[in-house]
Amino acid sequence: MPARLWLLSLLTVLLSACASPQKSPTTPPPRPDMPFNHALFNPVAVLDEQSIFALPELEQQAFLTYYQEHILAGMRGDRIIYEYLHDQLEEFHYRGETYSATESLQYGGGNCISLAVLTQAYAFVAGIDTRYHKVASAPVYQQVADTILISSHFKTKLLAPEQQEQEDWITLIRPGTVIDYFPAQDAIFVASARYKDLVAKFYANLAVKAMLADEFDLSAARILRARSYAPDDPELINIAAVLHRRAGDLKGAETIYQYADQHRLTSHNLLSNYLVLAKEQQATALAARLEQQLEDDAKTPFDFLMNARSAIAKGQLKKASRLLVNVVKETPYLPEPYFELAKISYLQGDHDTARQLLEQAIEKTSDPEKSRVFTAKHSMLQSLTEQ
């Protein structure tokens, strides 16, 4: 073929390729909203967002006076809030309750979410930006009617006021002050969180409180409000399913769990409660799959810790020991793995090793309640070895 004809043929092919229609990327269909049996619950009014962070007028004025005085003295805004809270919270005590900002002042305490809310309230008054860290610690959970409820912890970061930088400067991390009212040495970072995550957690905590008091209508209203801020939060989906189950709608609970499973909106806690439901319904194949999924999806040391506890309950001591040894290697500062390993040694009749492991658990904990539990177990073993 002559060169001219060859070039013409090639050009025709290229032009044809350019002229052929290109497939534009298709937008995936929107994910359907979580199924919720609205007919099962009556609408109930809930506290509005503004009221969560509202401070009494006199308190606002007192804080603003303090704030302006320290601004004139050259102190940074985020540090001022820290110092104010440090002075004000000396009389505060931990309470296992989720309060609004005003309630926290009224009752002189609250849980970590209550005090994160209080910090945000002062930040609003001062015009200071905030960010949050969600951290996990050894599961603090209660089991009520075969329902596993796990608490979580938030840290607040008050951001320093933005400053005019030179053109050739880039700020990678904005400075600020981290406030953690109830720090735990066994906590690990899980994810960054935003203001709306804090609001969602506030409503979620109150939803659980209402559910445990059998106030199902109020619980439902609070769950729906929480999901307007964080619709994809697996813990909120789990609470919704648990509420349906406790209200007698097992099919509704199952449908919600199926929705979470289908769209990969799961957590260790959600899967654990789904497993409880599957066992209740004697869905053997589903229960086996969920047990495997709990193992496959384990991410944090606390996921592996809970899997180890499950293995101990089934008498699978070698498997539990293997999981716990790995947790110790990854996070040697956590006390819980030593406590569970001590439990295994005790079950195997090795009281000396169990006692030594409990001593390590006591040494590594800073939590007074955990220390009391570990010490009581250690005293019991000490008396057994002395007999």
Question: Which of 88, 92, 129 has the alpha carbon at shortest distance from 112?
Answer: 92
153: which strand partners?
135
CA-to-CA dists, residue 291 to 236, 268, 295, angstroms = 21, 10, 7
Query: What pLDDT is attached to residue 141?
Result: 41
Count: domains in the chain = 1
Please provide residue 159's backbone torsions phi and psi, each rounded to the nearest 5 degrees: -85, 140
In this structure, which amino acid lies at residue 253? A
Tokens of 296: 């496959």
Question: Which CATH number goes with the domain that contains 374?
Answer: 1.25.40.10
Task: Scan for tokens 């909203």, then name that residue.
Answer: 33
| Residue 78 located in a structural domain | no
DSSP 8-state secondary structure symbol assigned to residue 332 = T
> What span, in angstroms and rounded, lies between the C-alpha atoms of 215 and 213?
5
Q: Given this model, what pLDDT does residue 172 score?
A: 53
Looking at residue 12, its pLDDT comes to 40
pTM, two decimals, is: 0.81
**Domain membership flag for residue 309:** yes
pLDDT 10s digits, 152-195: 677 888 999 876 555 555 545 678 888 876 555 455 666 788 99
Regions of the chain with pLDDT less than 50: 3-21, 139-143, 171, 185
Give the range of the structural domain holding residue 373, as residue numbers without chain letter.
Answer: 298-387
For residue 150, the cross-strand partners are 141
Whether 66 is covered by a domain: the verdict is no
Asked whether residue 383 is assigned to any structural domain, the reply reads yes
pLDDT at 161: 84
The H or E element containing residue 116 is helix 112-126
Residue 259 has a pLDDT of: 97
In a domain, 310, yes or no: yes
pLDDT digits (tens, 9 = 90+) for 230-244: 999 999 999 999 999
Is 335 a member of any domain?
Answer: yes
User: What is residue 165's predicted lDDT score, i.e. its pLDDT?
Assistant: 54
Residue 364 lies in a domain: yes
User: Does residue 238 sit within a domain?
Assistant: no
